[in-house]
């Protein structure tokens, strides 16, 4: 499982914590871009208007998801609200074999599973939103076409997720994108170049 010195970084944080924007900003740096692969998960949740199939997620049916699970094509998976999410095993294995580091955006269950699989080669990072008020605003904006019920569920889950933050290797407060991007880059760079 632990090929070369490739590292696996798991980023978690509640819906609306800004983790996707953060990862995209970190990967804009050319030196990191070449060394990293970002895993694109399978999901059964409906695609949001700005999302692209194959870039944000692979949007598949529940039947396809279950078939992939049975075929052991999914490295780890979770059920979030009423949808399934899973990490493609072949992609991660292939990238690690070629020495690429992997970035994964997962919930707590996924973070624990990946830590167990990759041990010291895995770093887990939790992204905290600036405040619950700000988080509520972001979730409401994101879910503007969906039901009030989903917003309430996401907020409730966010509170539960925040209570797991201390179990991560690092916890970063996302109150300023520029600062948190630098903090995340520093953690990543130190881990992939331990001698520097
Ligand atoms: P969203 O619907 O907001 O895109 O994602 C909901 C949650 O599922 C987020 O916490 C996200 O990080 C997590 N997630 C996305 N893909 C995966 C996956 O493949 N595995 C696990 N365990 N969690 C995932």
With both helix axes pointing from N to C terminus, report the angle between 177-192 and 19-26 in degrees, rounded to the nearest 10: 60
User: Is 1 a domain residue?
Assistant: no
Cβ count near 126 (within 10 Å): 25
- Is 77 part of any domain? yes
Q: What sign has the CA pseudo-torsion 47, 49, 52, 56?
A: negative
Distance in angstroms (rounded) separating the CA atoms of residues 122 and 7: 6
What is the distance between the alpha carbons of residues 138 and 130, in angstroms, rounded to a whole number? 11
In a domain, 26, yes or no: yes
Range of the domain at 56: 8-192
Query: What does the alpha-carbon distance between residue 155 and residue 179 come to, in Å, rounded to a whole number?
Result: 25
Residues constituting the chain: 196
- For the CA of 142, the closest atom of ligand 1 is 3
Within a domain: residue 24?
yes
Give the whole-angstrom CA distance, residue 160 versus residue 175.
20
Per-residue model confidence as pLDDT tens digits over 16-47? 888 988 999 999 989 899 999 999 999 999 99
We report the CATH number of the domain holding residue 111 as 3.40.50.300
Residue 2 lies in a domain: no
- Which atom of ligand 1 is closest in space to residue 109's alpha carbon? 22
Work out which ligand 1 atom sits closest to the CA atom of 19. Answer: 12
- The pLDDT tens digits for 60-79 are 999 999 999 999 999 999 99
Dist. CA 174–CA 39, nearest whole Å: 22
Q: To 10 degrees, the CA torsion angle through 166, 170, 174, 175?
A: 80
Assess if residue 168 is contained within a domain.
yes
Q: How far is the CA of 22 from the centre of ligand 1 (A)?
A: 15
C-beta 18 within 6 A of ligand 1: no
pLDDT tens-place values along the chain, 196 residues long: 443 489 999 999 998 888 988 999 999 989 899 999 999 999 999 998 889 999 999 999 999 999 999 999 999 999 998 999 999 999 999 999 999 999 999 999 999 999 999 999 999 999 999 888 888 888 887 766 567 788 888 889 899 999 999 999 999 999 999 999 999 999 999 999 877 6
Which atom of ligand 1 is found nearest the CA of 113?
Answer: 22
Q: Classify residue 60: in a domain, yes or no.
A: yes
Return the structure tokens found at 130: 């600036």
Instruction: Give the count of beta carbons closer than 10 Å to the beta carbon of residue 100.
Output: 17
Could you tell me if the CB of 89 is within 6 A of ligand 1? no
In a domain, 3, yes or no: no
Element (H, E) at 8: strand 8-12
Residue closest by Cα to atom 24 of ligand 1: 106
Into how many domains does the chain fold?
A: 1
């Amino acid at each position: 499982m632990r090929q070369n010195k490739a590292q696996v970084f798991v980023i978690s944080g509640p819906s609306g914590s800004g983790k996707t924007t953060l990862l995209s900003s970190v990967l804009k740096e050319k030196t990191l871009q070449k060394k990293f692969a970002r895993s694109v998960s399978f999901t059964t949740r409906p695609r949001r208007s700005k999302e692209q199939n194959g870039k944000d997620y692979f949007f598949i049916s529940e039947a396809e998801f279950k078939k992939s699970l049975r075929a052991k094509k999914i490295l780890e998976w979770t059920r979030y609200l009423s949808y399934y999410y899973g990490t493609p095993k072949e992609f991660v294995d292939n990238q690690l074999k070629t020495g690429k580091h992997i970035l994964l955006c997962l919930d707590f269950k996924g973070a624990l599973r990946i830590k167990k699989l990759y041990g010291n080669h895995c770093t887990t990072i939790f992204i905290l939103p600036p405040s619950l008020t700000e988080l509520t605003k972001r979730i409401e904006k994101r879910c503007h076409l969906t039901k009030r019920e989903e917003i309430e569920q996401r907020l409730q889950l966010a509170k539960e997720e925040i209570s797991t933050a201390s179990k991560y290797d690092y916890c970063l407060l996302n109150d300023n994108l520029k600062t948190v991007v630098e903090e995340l880059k520093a953690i990543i760079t130190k881990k992939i170049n331990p001698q520097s």
